[in-house]
Amino acid sequence: MKEIVLVKNGELVLKGLNRNSFEDVLIKNMRRHLADIGQFTFTKSQSTIMVEPENEDTDLDDAVKALGKVFGIAALSRAAVCEKDMEDIIRTAKEYLADELLLAKTFKVEAKRSDKKFPLNSPQISRELGGQLLKAFHHLKVDVHNPDIVVTVEVRDRYAFVRGNNIKGAGGMPTGTSGRAAVLISGGIDSPVAAYMMAKRGIELISVHFASPPYTSELAEMKVMDLLKRVAAYSGTIVTYVVPFTEIQEAIRDHCPEDYFTLVMRRIMMRISGEIAKRQNCQALITGESVGQVASQTIYALGCTDSASDLPVFRPCIGMDKDEIIAISRKIDTFDISIQPYEDCCTVFTPKHPKTRPKLQDVIDTENLISELDRMCETAIQNAKRVFIK
Ligand code: ATP
Ligand code: MG
């Protein structure tokens, strides 16, 4: 039996005239996610995209799994292709959906007919198929309000399709339709979640990670790359800049009062990331900060870090509790990696009593105690290692 995958667009339908180009980006992204699985043909039709394998032995389970991570897809389902003939539609539904129908207690049939020449109209198709399914599966009852399974029949121009329940898609907007931003990525729980959330809104990601060898280890850096791979499974390739941060952190330690260490460090991270972001045509920065989570994330501290770059800073975790952030990190499979115990440069030279109500001018004055900061920032940018994460 020939099978295809039917994909329902998400918010794309809202985009009016842009809809076509949004769909094209979505198809390009689907193609990329399916590249290792097989060759597929994509056909747009109303708010559905038909994904048809070119070879019969293509594994559609793998295809559905991969498409489940493509942003911009609201729902998807496998469907059986059959002739535009009522007998074939009935035979296909009974056979193709047998397992699901045996498990269900209630069902309803929904029919859509885009080919108006088909001899039965939609209510007639539903009635006919519903009656036949009741005869074949005696335990089933019809429930039009809350059925266990909705059997959908679509009669289109060349074929008819039969399918069972939809699977929920990744939602959001196709990656690449909302511009580009640089995520400051640490090895923690929050920043991979922040990256995922903004990619879900259609933003293409690059990322910046600060490493301070020998205070931070190679393993810590590998952990970050593993986290980014998990995010890239959704967002597509993430070009990553690993910025050498040791010289700057030692300069902060040597020149600044201890209670300002973290704040000055965070401002310099923002400044360097902002600069890399602009050179890579990004329109915003992304961090995993959440109000009040630690001393450097009080409302006062966030105000100080915000002003270190003139790009807007997106903080999608800002109003979330840690357990809400953890729930997302589990969903996207980053949690287990995030809790591996490697040191981050944020835990190097941490003050015992960090300032929680800093004044911006005081922080800037402290920062200015570091001579040659401009030179050090530019050197760090020039020496950043570029890695392609797929
Ligand atoms: P996370 O769980 O994301 O590490 P956190 O709660 O540990 O966050 P901080 O360590 O204060 O918080 O970091 C706040 C934010 O700063 C992070 O979410 C991340 O965006 C950025 N950040 C922290 N350390 C690094 C780093 N080494 N490289 C790049 N960005 C970093
Ligand atoms: Mg951290």
Q: Measure the CA–CA gap between 27 and 40, rounded to whole angstroms.
A: 11
H or E element in which residue 242 lies: strand 238-244
The reply to whether ligand 1 has any atom less than 6 angstroms from the CB of 315 is no
Are 207 and 230 within 8 A, CB to CB? no
Eight-state DSSP code of residue 8: E
188 CA to middle of ligand 1, Å?
7
Q: Measure the CA–CA gap between 294 and 359, rounded to whole angstroms.
A: 17
pLDDT computed for residue 49 by the predictor: 94
Mention every residue, 6+ apart, whose C-beta is less than 8 A from residue 359: 300
Query: Which amino acid is residue 86, in one-letter code?
Result: M
Q: Measure the CA–CA gap between 315 and 15, rounded to whole angstroms.
A: 25
Helix axes 261-279, 246-255, angle to 10 degrees: 150
Mention every residue, 6+ apart, whose C-beta is less than 8 A from residue 117: none
Eight-state DSSP code of residue 295: G
Q: Which atom of ligand 1 is nearest to the CA of 325?
A: 2
Burial of 148 (0-12, 13-18, 19+ CB in 10 A): middle
Q: What global pTM score does this model have?
A: 0.92
Residue nearest to atom 12 of ligand 1 (CA): 289
pLDDT computed for residue 246 by the predictor: 96
Distance of CA 354 to the CA centre of its chain: 34
Distance of CA 97 to the CA centre of its chain: 31
Q: Measure the CA–CA gap between 111 and 334, rounded to whole angstroms.
A: 41
Q: Which long-range contacts does 16-22 make (Cβ < 8 Å, 24+ apart)?
A: 22/72, 22/173, 22/174, 22/177
Q: Measure the CA–CA gap between 28 and 236, rounded to whole angstroms.
A: 11
Q: Measure the CA–CA gap between 364 and 269, rounded to whole angstroms.
A: 14
329 CA to middle of ligand 2, Å?
14
C-alpha separations of 319 from 291, 295, 304, 309, 322 in Å:
7, 16, 18, 22, 10
Mention every residue, 6+ apart, whose C-beta is less than 8 A from residue 21: none
The reply to whether ligand 1 has any atom less than 6 angstroms from the CB of 185 is yes
- How do residues 235-246 score in pLDDT, each as one tens digit? 999 999 999 999
The reply to whether ligand 1 has any atom less than 6 angstroms from the CB of 345 is yes
- How do residues 289-342 score in pLDDT, each as one tens digit? 999 877 778 899 999 999 999 999 999 999 999 999 999 999 999 999 999 988
Tell me: pLDDT of 369 over 80: yes
Q: Which ligand places an atom closest to the C-alpha of 216?
A: 1
Please spell the DSSP secondary structure of 129-185, one letter per residue: HHHHHHHH-TT-EE-SSS-SEEEEEEE-SS-EEEE-PPEEEEES--TTSS-EEEEE-
The reply to whether ligand 1 has any atom less than 6 angstroms from the CB of 189 is yes
Q: Which residues pair with 73 in a beta bridge?
A: 9, 171
Tell me: pLDDT of 13 over 60: no
Report the residue among 185, 191, 317, 343 best suited for mutation to probe ligand 1: largest number of ligand atoms under 8 A from its CB.
191
Residue nearest to atom 14 of ligand 1 (CA): 289
pLDDT category of residue 349 using cuts at 50, 70 and 90 = confident
pLDDT computed for residue 15 by the predictor: 59
pLDDT computed for residue 4 by the predictor: 96
Report the residue among 262, 293, 346 best suited for mutation to probe ligand 1: largest number of ligand atoms under 8 A from its CB.
346
The reply to whether ligand 1 has any atom less than 6 angstroms from the CB of 344 is yes
The reply to whether ligand 1 has any atom less than 6 angstroms from the CB of 242 is no
Q: Which ligand places an atom closest to the C-alpha of 263?
A: 1
363 CA to middle of ligand 1, Å?
19
Higher-scoring residue by pLDDT: 336, 345: 336
Tell me: pLDDT of 278 over 60: yes
pLDDT computed for residue 12 by the predictor: 56
pLDDT computed for residue 56 by the predictor: 87
Task: Using a CB cutoff of 5 Å, list residues around ligand 2, an ion.
Answer: 186, 188, 344, 346
pLDDT computed for residue 9 by the predictor: 86
Computed over every residue of the chain, the mean pLDDT equals 94
Q: Measure the CA–CA gap between 292 and 290, rounded to whole angstroms.
A: 6
The reply to whether ligand 1 has any atom less than 6 angstroms from the CB of 291 is no
The reply to whether ligand 1 has any atom less than 6 angstroms from the CB of 287 is yes
Residue nearest to atom 30 of ligand 1 (CA): 184
Q: Which ligand places an atom closest to the C-alpha of 242?
A: 1
pLDDT category of residue 176 using cuts at 50, 70 and 90 = very high
Q: Measure the CA–CA gap between 130 and 250, rounded to whole angstroms.
A: 74
pLDDT computed for residue 356 by the predictor: 82
The reply to whether ligand 1 has any atom less than 6 angstroms from the CB of 188 is yes
Q: Which ligand places an atom closest to the C-alpha of 314?
A: 1
Q: Which tokens is 376 given?
A: 């050090």
Q: Which tokens is 271 given?
A: 């400044």
Q: Which tokens is 273 given?
A: 């990331």
Q: Residues for the chain: how many in total?
A: 390
Q: Which long-range contacts does 49-53 make (Cβ < 8 Å, 24+ apart)?
A: 49/6, 49/7, 49/9, 49/23, 50/4, 50/5, 50/6, 50/7, 51/4, 51/5, 51/6, 51/7, 52/4, 53/3, 53/4
The reply to whether ligand 1 has any atom less than 6 angstroms from the CB of 296 is yes
Q: Measure the CA–CA gap between 232 and 194, rounded to whole angstroms.
A: 13
